[in-house]
């Protein structure tokens, strides 16, 4: 069975948030702050309001009041304070998009500007230790004595890696279409990774009871975390619609997305590793320095994968955060694991060279019996299997580790390896299954952001019901359906699938209907270390003339529990790895230190991989089943593909050129700068 919504997607009939046919719709266009810090002194909408077709100008001088405890990123027009350049300070509503856009340019905003600070550094005086890091983990952990471990090490490395601001850039811009009915109920078509949570946030922000709000997101054009939390477009559409008494649509421009839809914090990471004469780690320390806004503390869990990966008698991980005059960072595919594993797995490669060990062998020797930080047993862990399988498929045994010696004309050639990991968790969810015309209908407020949730849940239900998956229809993406958690944290299938299995089991007993709520079941989960693992192998070709880097082969081998749908799983792994390739070689948003905000604000400046960049990407998996996680025996697969890719490619660039570039992305300019 192919993707169940495939036909509507290839025929152009699938409706994304801005695409629902609504009569008499008006258009909103946002006006953004032109200073990085300060106050709005005055908003003059006169020239805008004079333009024919303009219905309203919203700003801190003219907007409905919102709930006092609203997320500051969503509390539009409630204050004169400007916390970052690009923050939404006003909006125009008009009959057409063309009028709204032109009128927005005519809104005059005067400011009192203060000095700003947007530069992250590892010695910033404002650095502090957050109490917890995302999602709710200790910010600091320590076991054993790192200094003692390093002192007795045969070989050690002390290296610092940097990753830039990264933007999710889903293809579908953040958009919302809001309308109020005569009873004061709000309907929002929103770009959302989870309509249950989005309904709660929108209701809370507007000071409404949740049952008065309905959020619909039948198709979502990618999110990668940026649509996991409610974004300002939903609130703006609702406010504007209330003001003008018509349905209002807003589609953020690609440029505006860079400012107000979240991004991955830049990181500075220091990793210290020591190894004894037998190749066993004596110490592992991983410290991450990162930023958040002055509005909200968002602390990316960057060094947490080092609590999971390798057996080290002395292990210390920590985070330091500084609050800058920037937008609030947020989730981007594999927050924490993605940047953290870039640093750890690059440092492990450096340690392998320092110790004269094969990098696969170094990882195998340090594979732990139990989770290093917590001491908990793993529900399953097959990192070594992934490394061995990948090494076999990649022809690793024939690799000469000497860097910088393989050449074909102008091209230097190298290979690299890195490990992948991602936690595998589940959240409580509800689901209902009923019979319909001899088929089955599964309903829950899940989201399909491109993962294939409909298809996977149909397969899961069909497995329990003992019918062909084509006979199961899945309805999702509507907050009126039974409550369900986000498509996020690689938890969708595990969370929703558990509820679907339980509902189907009840239907089998009842004959007509099954309802499930997995809250109690999940509360009773045993304490275990739950993670998926993988290994990625890269071959690169680096031009000694232009500095161009081509990834001529990228192989991922994953151990991610039972794979529910092989076609969809392969697509997810390939997609994650492709995004990881972008992180390694091209993705970067440069912060404007002079004026605040970002200098890169579109897809001509922020490069994501194009078709020709990702031609030789393969993903396979080991036969793994982990029955202690959930009834499917599955692990989440949406994020692990991006974890480790950048390190594998960076390690391959070192093998090709003999140089370590410790700051992503590895661009031709950085390669050319290596020349004597």
Partner 1 sequence: MNITLQVNGVPRTVDVDPRISLLDLLRERLGLIGAKKGCDHGQCGACTVLIDGRRANACLALAVAVDGSEVTTVEGLAADGELHPLQSAFMEHDAFQCGYCTPGQLCSAAGMLGEPGPSAVTGDILVDPDLTPEEISERMSGNLCRCGAYVNIVSAIGEVAR
Helix, strand, or coil (residue 443):
strand
Residue selected from 567, 590, 594, 627 as contacting partner 1 according to rule CB under 8 A? 567
Beta strands 267-275 and 132-133, pairing class: unpaired
Using CB under 8 A as the binding rule, the residues of this chain from 438 to 467 that contact partner 1 are: 449-452
Enter the DSSP assignment of 585: H
Least separation in angstroms between CB 251 and partner 1: 7
Give the C-alpha separation, 430 to 199, whole Å: 16
Q: How far is the CB of 636 from partner 1 (least distance, A)?
A: 15
The sheet carrying 472-475 orders its strands as 472-475, 439-443, 430-436, 513-517
Told to check if 105 binds partner 1 by CB under 8 A, we report: no
Our CB check for partner 1 shows the closer of 204 and 571 to be: 571
Interacting stretch for partner 1, rule CB under 8 A, among 60-68, 135-143, 609-617, 650-658?
609-617
Q: Per rule CB under 8 A, is residue 583 in the interface with partner 1?
A: no
Which residues face 116 on adjacent strands?
none
Pick the binder of partner 1 from 170, 262, 329, 665 (CB under 8 A).
170
How far from the centroid of its chain's Cα atoms is residue 141's Cα?
24
Going residue by residue from 237 to 256, which x/- string records binding to partner 1, judged by CB under 8 A? --------------x-xx--
Give the ranges where 17-139 is alpha helix by DSSP (H). Answer: 46-49, 97-105
> Which residues within the stretch 72-101 sit at the binding site for partner 1 (CB under 8 A)?
96-99
> Contact region for partner 1 (CB under 8 A) — 66-74, 137-145, 178-186, 576-584?
576-584
Tell me the number of residues near partner 1 by CB under 8 A.
60
Nearest 5 degrees, angle CA 365-CA 368-CA 372? 135
Q: Verify binding: residue 226, partner 1, rule CB under 8 A.
A: no
Indicate the burial class of 300 (C-beta count within 10 angstroms; 0-12, 13-18, 19 or more): buried
Pick one of 113, 441, 608, 672: the residue that binds partner 1 (CB under 8 A).
608
Which residue among 77, 84, 189, 224 contacts partner 1 (CB under 8 A)? 224
The residue ranges of DSSP E strands in 393-530, in sequence order, are 407-408, 411-423, 430-436, 439-443, 472-475, 513-517
Distances 558 to 219, 485, 616 between C-alpha atoms, Å: 28, 25, 17
Closest CA to 490 of 427, 566, 556, 558: 427
Q: Any contact of residue 173 with partner 1 (CB under 8 A)?
A: yes
Q: Considering the rule CB under 8 A, would residue 577 count as an interface residue with partner 1?
A: yes
Examine residue 64 and tell whether it contacts partner 1 (CB under 8 A): no
Distances, alpha carbon 495 to alpha carbons 31, 45, 163, 198, 220, in Å: 39, 48, 32, 17, 19
Contact stretch for partner 1 (CB under 8 A) within 37-45, 181-189, 433-441, 563-571? 563-571
Residue 299 CB, nearest distance to partner 1 (Å)?
26
Which listed residue (290, 371, 624, 639) is catalytic? 639
H helices of 94-244, in order, are 97-105, 146-151, 195-206, 232-244
- Is 10 a residue that touches partner 1 (CB under 8 A)? yes
Piece of 9-17, 425-433, 510-518, 665-673 that binds partner 1 (CB under 8 A) = 9-17
Bridge-based pairing state of the strands 155-163 and 141-143: unpaired
Task: Tell me the per-residue interface mask from 403 to 422 with partner 1, x by CB under 8 A, - otherwise.
Answer: --------------------
Tell whether residue 102 is a contact of partner 1 (CB under 8 A): yes
Is 154 catalytic? The answer is no
Cβ partners under 8 Å of residue 660, min gap 6: 159, 346, 350, 650, 654
Question: Does 552 help bind partner 1 (rule: CB under 8 A)?
Answer: no
What secondary structure letter does DSSP report for 663?
B
Q: Which is nearer to partner 1, 257 or 360 (CB)?
A: 257
d(CA 256, CA 607): 17
- Alpha carbon of residue 246 to chain centroid: 34
21 binds partner 1 per the rule CB under 8 A: yes
The closest of 530, 580, 581 to 560, measured between CA atoms, is: 530
Tell me the window of 14-22, 146-154, 360-368, 475-483 that interacts with partner 1 (CB under 8 A): 14-22
Minimal distance, residue 576 CB to partner 1, in Å: 7
Q: Give catalytic residue positions.
A: 639
Query: Residue numbers of the site for partner 1 (CB under 8 A)?
Result: 2-3, 5-7, 9-16, 19, 21, 96-99, 102, 169-173, 219-222, 224, 251, 253-254, 449-452, 567-568, 570-572, 574-579, 602-604, 608-615, 617
């Amino acid at each position: 069975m192919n993707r169940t919504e495939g036909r509507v997607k290839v025929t152009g009939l699938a409706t994304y948030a801005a695409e629902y046919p609504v009569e008499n719709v008006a258009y909103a266009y946002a006006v953004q702050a032109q200073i990085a810090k300060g106050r709005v002194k005055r908003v003059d909408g006169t020239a805008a309001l004079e333009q024919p077709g303009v219905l309203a100008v919203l700003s801190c001088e003219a907007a409905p009041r919102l709930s006092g405890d609203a997320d500051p990123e969503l509390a539009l027009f409630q204050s004169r304070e400007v916390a970052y350049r690009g923050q939404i300070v006003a909006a125009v509503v008009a009959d057409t998009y063309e009028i709204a856009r032109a009128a927005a340019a005519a809104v005059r905003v005067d400011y009192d500007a203060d000095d700003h600070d947007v530069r992250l550094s590892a010695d910033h005086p404002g650095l502090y230790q957050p109490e917890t890091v995302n999602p709710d983990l200790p910010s600091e952990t320590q076991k054993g004595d790192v200094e003692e471990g390093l002192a007795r090490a045969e070989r050690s490395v002390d290296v610092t890696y940097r990753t830039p601001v990264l933007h999710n850039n889903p293809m579908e811009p953040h958009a919302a279409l809001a309308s109020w009915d005569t009873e004061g109920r709000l309907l929002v078509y929103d770009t959302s990774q989870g309509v249950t949570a989005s309904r709660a946030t929108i209701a809370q922000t507007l000071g409404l009871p949740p049952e008065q709000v309905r959020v619909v997101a039948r198709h979502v054009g990618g999110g990668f975390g940026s649509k996991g939390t409610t974004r300002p477009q939903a609130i703006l559409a609702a406010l504007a619609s209330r003001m003008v008494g018509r349905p209002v649509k807003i589609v953020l421009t690609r440029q505006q997305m860079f400012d107000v839809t979240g991004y991955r914090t830049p990181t500075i990471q220091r990793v210290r590793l020591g190894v004894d004469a037998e190749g066993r780690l004596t110490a592992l320390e991983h410290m991450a320095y990162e930023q958040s806004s002055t509005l909200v503390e968002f602390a990316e869990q960057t060094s947490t994968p080092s609590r999971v990966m390798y057996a080290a008698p002395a292990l210390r991980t920590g985070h330091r955060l500084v609050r800058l005059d920037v937008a609030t960072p947020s989730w981007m595919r594999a927050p924490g694991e993605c940047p953290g594993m870039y640093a750890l797995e690059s440092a492990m490669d450096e340690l392998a060279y320092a110790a004269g060990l094969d990098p696969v062998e170094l990882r195998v020797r340090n594979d732990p019996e139990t989770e290093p930080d917590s001491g908990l047993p793993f529900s399953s862990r097959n990192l070594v299997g992934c490394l061995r399988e990948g090494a076999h498929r990649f022809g690793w045994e024939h690799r000469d580790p000497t860097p910088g010696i393989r050449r074909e004309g102008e091209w230097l050639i190298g290979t690299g390896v890195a490990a992948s990991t991602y936690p595998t968790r589940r959240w409580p969810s509800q689901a209902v299954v009923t019979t319909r015309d001899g088929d089955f209908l599964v309903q829950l407020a899940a989201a399909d952001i491109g993962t294939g949730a409909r298809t996977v849940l149909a397969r899961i239900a069909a497995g329990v019901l003992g019918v062909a998956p084509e006979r199961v229809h899945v309805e999702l993406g509507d907050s009126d359906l039974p409550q369900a958690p986000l498509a996020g944290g690689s938890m969708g299938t595990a969370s929703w699938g558990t509820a679907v299995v339980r509902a189907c089991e009840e239907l089998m007993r009842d004959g007509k209907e099954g309802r499930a709520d997995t809250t109690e079941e999940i509360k009773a989960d045993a304490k275990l270390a739950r993670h998926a693992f993988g290994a990625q192998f890269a071959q690169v070709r680096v031009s000694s003339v232009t500095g161009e880097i081509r990834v001529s082969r990228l192989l991922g081998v994953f151990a991610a529990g039972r794979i529910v749908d092989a076609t969809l799983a392969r697509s997810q792994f390939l997609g994650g790895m492709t995004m990881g390739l972008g992180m390694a070689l091209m993705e970067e948003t440069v912060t404007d230190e002079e004026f605040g905000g970002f200098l890169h604000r579109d897809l001509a400046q922020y490069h994501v991989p194009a078709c020709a960049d990702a031609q030789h990407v393969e993903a396979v998996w080991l036969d793994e089943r982990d029955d202690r996680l959930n009834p499917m025996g599955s692990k989440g697969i949406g994020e692990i593909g991006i974890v480790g890719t950048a390190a594998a490619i960076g390690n391959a660039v070192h093998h090709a050129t003999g140089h370590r570039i410790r700051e992503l992305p590895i661009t031709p300019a950085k390669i050319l700068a290596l020349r004597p």
